[in-house]
Structure formats: structure tokens, C-alpha cells
Amino acid sequence: MTQSEPQPQDTQFEQLRSMVESEFTVEESLMEYNTPTFYVKLQPDSKQAFLRLYKRLDPLGLIPVLRKREDKNALQIITKPPVKPSNKRINLALFLATIATTTITGYVLSTGWEGKGIPDPLIGALMFTVAIMAIFGTHEMAHKLTSRKHKIEASYPYFIPGPPAPFGIGTFGAVIQQKSLAPNKDALFDLGISGPVIGFIVTALVAIIGVQMSYYTIEVKPPPGTMQMSLLLEFLFVMLQQPPSNPSGHVILWMHPVAVAGWVGMLVTMLNLTPAGMLDGGHAARGLLGQTARNILSFIAILLLLFLGYWPMAVIAFLLSQQTHPGPLDDVSKLSTSRKLAAIALIIIYILCAAPIL
């Protein structure tokens, strides 16, 4: 009687089990639907153990996935999905198109400003374009750099051109395409928080510059249409541009194109922080609270948008909330305490970018 030779899949399974056992205490191991599955016992350093295993499996074209199953921790080893390379010419074409549409918008916003801080509408157009592209560009590049830090596959920013003024603002913002899952909740939270925080800082600087170049007038008949300002923008105007007292007519605020760019930046930041779908707030809430609590928070945030009068944003957030967030590869380890405290910054930014209830 001869002993059968070990099959290749058996050999690979034993190799994988040895790698998992070097990082975790394995309570049970089996092939589940042709997927190596290990029920492991967590240790105080399990988060780092998972990252070490993640790095060891990467050269083999494999990735670990850790999920809670009732009272057990199931770690499965799956084949790393192929990543389709991005066509950078598309990024460049969209970037140039967005510069064109925002420049047109800036030109329209600058007409009538001759002798009031803008010598030529073309100068105002360029100022608006630089301001708004800086806001969206730094926001998305913060995401890109965070992705690179945590070894998450992601594209370069895709700027999205939109209808120029008077039909729009010339852009719908910018996005990066995430092509792989975050390794753990820390990385997922960092991915969500990085863009809004950096983008908000740039937006605030743009708004401060723009507010100081804006001015008030008093008119008997106000022009049609008003802009609902955020709390921060309203505060900046009160501090930097005192409106006339005891006017004989209507006080009209003429916002410089750069101030309009700051207004747009705050509006988009508030939308991005809505905890829905794959929005930045969705990433942060998923890493902080988990799937179920994030869904509840998303519903509350959509109601708040409706209450504040942001109907289009509420519709967008509702549609995005229908998308289930995949979560990180390690969905068991806890978010670090420092990141839980950093979530307070997101709440503050959201409030500052929201319009006051009138």
C-alpha cells in the first residue's frame, strides 16, 4: 500500500495555515467553499498581526479578510482582485475641461466688478479658478496621499466639469477611484477624514481672502436671488466686513468670486461629510461606528439636510446611502482612541459648513 502524494492545494493550505498561526492562535482551520478559512483567537496586538499577515500575503497575490461571525472571528484568505490601471490622459482631459468651465464661471461672476477690486473680468475669472481648483485639488490629493500611506490602490483625482455660470458653477467637484479595500478601520477612517480636513483648511483660507475683497451696498430694490451662507462664512463677514448700520434701503452683499469659491467649498465639504455610501463621511462613520450604526446616522443626516433646505443634497445622499459599504479587510479590530477623538473635528467642520436655521 503506497501513501498518496500531497496535492498542490493541500500544500498551499498548510503553508497558509503556518503563516496564520505565526500571527494568531488558530482554533479551527478548514476549506470553506474552496476558500482557506481560519477561526482565530484575537490577541492585544491582533491589529498589527493582521497588518503583518497582510504584507506577507501581498507578494503571493492573496489578501486576508477578517470578519466577526457570531462569537467567532473568521479569517479567510482570498485571491487579490486584479487592479485595472488608470488612464491618466482621462484625468488630464477632465482637469483641463474643469479649468475651462470654472474660468467661464469666474468671468461671469467678475462682470460688473471693474473698478471695485477686479481690474478686468479675466483676472477675476483666473482668481476664481485658482481658488476653487485649490480647494478640490488639495481635498482629493489628501485622499490620494492617505491611500498611498495605507497601501490602498487609488487613482489620481478625476475633476468633474459642470455647466458654467449662469447655469452652474462650472464643476461638480472631484473624486478619486478607490480600487482596493482599506486594511483596517484606522486606514478607512483616515481615508475619510483626510480630504475634508485638508480641504476645509484651504476653503477657510480662500474664504478669508474672498470676504476681505467683497463689499456691501444699499439699494432700494434688492436683486433677485440670495445665497444661504454657512455659519463660518457668515461669521467671517461679520468679523471682516461690517454691514452698514441703519440703512435707508436693502443691504446687499456683493461676494467676490474668490468668496464664492469659498462658499462652494463649504457646501461641498458638508455634502462630503454626510455619512452615506462611499462619501467621506460614509468612510469615517463606517470605521467609527460599523455598518448598522452608520445606516442609522445616514438616515438622521438626510433628515437634517431636508430640514436645512438642502433638497438636492438630501436626494444625492439618499441615493448614495443605498450603496452598502464594503468595510475594511480587518473589520474586527477596534478604531484607535486618537481617531475616535478626531471624529469630533468632523462634527465641528460639518456644523461650520452648514447654514444656520432661519
Segment 135-146 shows an average pLDDT of: 95
Return the higher-pLDDT residue of 7 and 317: 317
- Residue whose C-alpha cell is 475683497: 213
pLDDT of residue 258: 94
CB proximity list for 87: less than 8 A, separation 6 or greater? none
The band of 229, judged by pLDDT with boundaries at 50, 70 and 90, is confident
In angstroms, the Cα distances linking 44 to 3, 25, 47, 50, 309 are 42, 12, 8, 12, 47
C-alpha cell of residue 349: 467642520
Residue 237, pLDDT > 90, answer: no
User: pLDDT for 181-192, tens place per residue?
Assistant: 999 999 999 999
Residue 51 has pLDDT above 90, yes or no: yes
| Residue 131 scores a pLDDT above 70 | yes
pLDDT at 358 over 60: no
Residue 5 has pLDDT above 50, yes or no: no
Query: What are phi and psi for residue 27, nearest 5 degrees?
Result: -90, -30
Contact 315, 274 (CB under 8 A): no
Least confident piece of the model among 28-37, 220-229, 319-328: 220-229
Distance between CA atoms of residues 26 and 54, nearest Å? 17
**What is the predicted pLDDT for the residue at 312?**
75
Q: What angle do CA 29, 32, 34 make, to 5 degrees?
A: 115
Model pTM?
Answer: 0.85
Across residues 89-97, what is the average pLDDT? 95
Q: Given pLDDT bands bounded at 50, 70 and 90, which one contains residue 319?
A: confident
- What is the overall mean pLDDT for the chain? 86
Q: How far apart are CA 276 and CA 215, in angstroms?
A: 37
**Residue of 14 and 118 predicted with greater confidence:** 14
CA 139/CA 158 separation, integer angstroms: 12
Which range of 25-34, 96-105, 159-168 scores highest in mean pLDDT? It is 96-105
**pLDDT one-digit tens code per residue, 257-285:** 999 999 999 988 988 888 877 788 888 88
Percent of all residues in the chain with a pLDDT value above 70, rounded to a whole number: 90
Question: What's the N-to-C CA distance of the chain in angstroms?
Answer: 88
* 75, 24 Cβ separation under 8 angstroms: yes
Tell me the residue ranges of DSSP E strands in the chain.
Answer: 25-32, 35-41, 62-69, 72-79, 158-161, 171-175, 215-219, 250-254
Supply the pLDDT for residue 250.
64
Q: Is residue 7 over pLDDT 50?
A: no
- The residues that bridge with 79 in the sheet, in sequence order, are 62
pLDDT of residue 247: 64
Q: Which contacts of 152-156 are long-range, i.e. CB under 8 A and separated by 24 or more positions?
A: 152/178, 152/179, 152/180, 152/181, 152/182, 152/183, 152/187, 152/191, 153/83, 153/178, 153/179, 153/180, 154/178, 154/179, 154/180, 155/86, 155/91, 155/179, 156/86, 156/88, 156/91
Bigger pLDDT: 82 vs 310: 82
Give the pairing type, strands 171-175 and 72-79.
unpaired
Cell numbers found for residue 295: 445606516
Q: Is the per-residue pLDDT at 4 higher than 50?
A: no
Decide which of 3 and 340 is more confident. 340
The SS3 of residue 282 is helix
Cα–Cα distance, 30 to 326 (Å, whole number): 24
Look at 197 and 167; give whichever has higher pLDDT: 197
